[in-house]
A and B are shown apart, each in its own frame.
Chain A
């Protein structure tokens, strides 16, 4: 019973490099999302998806791309990393619709951009 799995757990990048944070869930959840966590800022929504092929922007989408080709996977891409993107990233998923607000979170990916 894996839940939400994120890889990698840690990553160091140089400014301008690109990378993809992977997120997979095995709960058949329609809704998936990416948050970043920064001290004093809480959790801020980057992008979210309500189903395969459907994505939308959250509060802080600039510098990030997403796609959703399957129900299970929701990767987050940084095309040209900047030091301001140093953060802890969390993927979260839940059932679709408004039946529940409970998000299930992964354990996070800590990214440092030098």
Chain B
């Protein structure tokens, strides 16, 4: 049972376009929602994160939009560049006494054409 569902599986965008990746969750025990970026042959690295009491967070060209009532959050990459081509994972952190374990979505392979 996938606790965090991510879509699409793959995405192709032209340079300068907007990339949008969506995630949905069911469990209200999650208390923190990070996005990780992974380049081929490397481990994932934290890109941007948001807490559920905030509806939007922006860092440079990357924005997380968070809809608590719908239990959905999304990553927007503005002015997408070929260097953004990577696999993106959304994640959710278990709150309470769960030691802050992270559960990940299925991943989205983003390709930005020049």
Q: Interface on A for B, CB 8 Å cutoff?
A: 4, 31, 33, 35, 40-45, 48, 50, 56, 58-59, 90, 92, 94, 97-98, 101-103, 105-108
**By CB atoms of chain A within 10 A, which of B2, B46, B49 has the most?**
B46
Residue pairs across A and B with Cβ atoms less than 8 A apart, 22 shown, are: A35-B104, A40-B107, A41-B106, A42-B2, A42-B107, A43-B89, A43-B107, A45-B101, A48-B101, A56-B99, A58-B101, A90-B44, A92-B43, A98-B95, A101-B32, A101-B91, A101-B102, A102-B34, A103-B102, A106-B43, A107-B43, A108-B41
Residue of B nearest to A95 (CB): B100
Partner of A42, one of B34, B41, B89, B95: B89
Cα of A90 to Cα of B107 in the assembled complex, Å:
15
Contact A4 B6 (CB under 8 A): no
The number of residues on chain B lying at the interface, defined by a beta carbon within 8 Å of a beta carbon of chain A, is 28
